[in-house]
Amino acid sequence: MKERIEALKHEIERALSEGRSLKDIKELQVRFLGRKGPIQELMLALRETSAEERPSLGQQINRLKEEVTEALHKLEKNFSSSEEEERLRQETLDVTLPGSYRPLGRKHPVSAMLDLVLEAHRDMGFSVQYGPDIESDFYNFEALNFAPDHPARDMHDTYYIEPGVLLRTHTSNTQVRLMEGHPPPIRIAAPGRCFRNEDITARSHLFFHQVEGIYIDRGVSMSDLVQTLEDLLHRIFSTQVKLRLRSSYFPFVEPGLEVDISCLACSGKGCTLCKKSGWLEVLGAGMVHPEVLKSGGIDPEEYTGYAWGMGIERLVLLKYGIDDIRLLFDGDVRLLRQFSFV
């Protein structure tokens, strides 16, 4: 028994000298002082010794246990202290070092332009109203004076979900909805997403954003429309622009106009942006068609109105000189980082 106690003592001393971390010490505590460890085995083996030897051997085993416990406790304290110091050293922050670059999120140029356009409308007294993306044929076409055989109703121009239900092709679908529920005067801007079954090219996309403006009241005239557009476009482009009005056809206005502005890049002198013409097409407009007023329950003999529709992506292309609409939807951060909108 004495030889076993002495051999265990040497084994423990060697194991303690090889401990290199707090984890090692924890493992040695379980190994030597655990319920199934060698010291506990010696205590159980005392029952097999003679009564004369048992007290002396028991004292030796208890002394060994106390020495091992004290040694492990001392090592645990030393390793715990050194590991804590190392951890604090590694976590120390040098406030003199330059900070890490954290890129800020930014508005997409389309979202920023949409906000700008709506803010300009609000400043001019227009309220913002929204219509549904999924619309009926009545509000998208019929109530807006589209003939039953109008090409825009065909499948190759419009996304139909089911017969009579479609993805709206313009935000003009909001016009009659507002007329039905609100008597004149009506002065609203209707933003939203639009969908058209078109080929994706540098100038067109099957998905785009539009803002519809409409004003209905007694005595509204074409001169009111022109003056309002001059003010609106001045607010959007942050500069005084010249307008050019060209006669055009839209089923829901009469007369209809295409509105151009003097080129932002060359001030009308002619450049690649305006294709040497000096003018940029920005929106379509006109006086609200009497049939559209009737569809909304408004008497065209008493009230008149004007309306326009502008594509947000087109305004972005013109204002910032971007030559391909697809760049706005590719998610290329090299383009998006050039805009500092917040």
Same domain flag for 252 and 121: yes
Tell me the Ramachandran region of residue 113: left when phi exceeds 0, alpha when psi lies from -120 to 50, beta otherwise: alpha
Give the residue-averaged pLDDT of 275-285: 89
For the chain, the average pLDDT equals 86
Which has more confidence, 226 or 9? 226
Instruction: Say if 198 falls within a structural domain.
Output: yes
The counts of H helices and E strands in the chain are 11, 10
Helix axis angle, 54-91 relative to 38-45, nearest 10°? 170
- Tell me the residue ranges of DSSP E strands in the chain: 127-128, 134-136, 160-162, 165-167, 186-195, 207-217, 243-250, 253-262, 279-288, 304-311
| 134-170: pLDDT as tens digits | 999 999 999 999 988 877 777 668 899 999 999 999 9
Instruction: Say if 64 falls within a structural domain.
Output: yes
Domain encompassing residue 43: 2-90
Instruction: Say if 134 falls within a structural domain.
Output: yes
Query: How many domains is the chain built from?
Result: 2
- Taking 70 as the threshold, does the pLDDT of residue 227 lie above it? yes
Cα(293)–Cα(307) distance, integer angstroms = 12
| 111-132: pLDDT as tens digits | 999 999 999 999 999 999 999 9
Phi, psi (5° rounding) for residue 269? -80, -20
- Taking 70 as the threshold, does the pLDDT of residue 340 lie above it? no
Same domain flag for 172 and 138: yes
The CATH number for 262's domain is: 3.30.930.10
Tokens of 18: 């090889």
Which has more confidence, 44 or 314? 314
Same domain flag for 35 and 133: no
Q: In this structure, are residues 246 and 282 in contact, taking their beta carbons and an 8 Å threshold? A: no
- Taking 50 as the threshold, does the pLDDT of residue 199 lie above it? yes
pLDDT band at 342 (very low <50, low <70, confident <90, very high): very low
Instruction: Say if 97 falls within a structural domain.
Output: no
Return the closest-CA partner of residue 43 out of 62, 69, 63: 62
Which residues, in sequence order, are CB contacts of 57 under 8 Å at separation 6+?
1, 2, 5, 46, 49
Same domain flag for 58 and 195: no
Q: In this structure, are residues 309 and 212 in contact, taking their beta carbons and an 8 Å threshold? A: yes
* Last residue of one domain, picked from the residues 30, 59, 90: 90
pLDDT band at 341 (very low <50, low <70, confident <90, very high): low
pLDDT attached to residue 155: 62
The β-bridge partners of 186 are 216
5-19, 140-154, 258-272 — which is least confidently predicted? 5-19
Q: What is the DSSP letter of 185?
A: P
Q: Measured between alpha carbons, how far is residue 268 from residues 6, 243, 248, 272 in Å? A: 105, 11, 22, 11
pLDDT attached to residue 156: 63
Residues in the chain: 342
Does residue 151 have a cis peptide bond before it, meaning omega lies within 30 degrees of 0? no
pLDDT-above-70 percentage for the chain: 98
How big is the chain by its Cα radius of gyration, in Å?
41
Cα(243)–Cα(221) distance, integer angstroms = 17
pLDDT-above-90 percentage for the chain: 44
Instruction: Say if 30 falls within a structural domain.
Output: yes
pLDDT attached to residue 52: 79
Instruction: Say if 128 falls within a structural domain.
Output: yes
pLDDT band at 241 (very low <50, low <70, confident <90, very high): confident
Return the closest-CA partner of residue 234 out of 319, 311, 108, 307: 319
Cα(276)–Cα(315) distance, integer angstroms = 19
- Taking 80 as the threshold, does the pLDDT of residue 5 lie above it? no
The β-bridge partners of 257 are 247, 285
Same domain flag for 231 and 85: no
Instruction: Say if 141 falls within a structural domain.
Output: yes
- Taking 60 as the threshold, does the pLDDT of residue 320 lie above it? yes
Give the residue-averaged pLDDT of 213-238: 94
Instruction: Say if 32 falls within a structural domain.
Output: yes
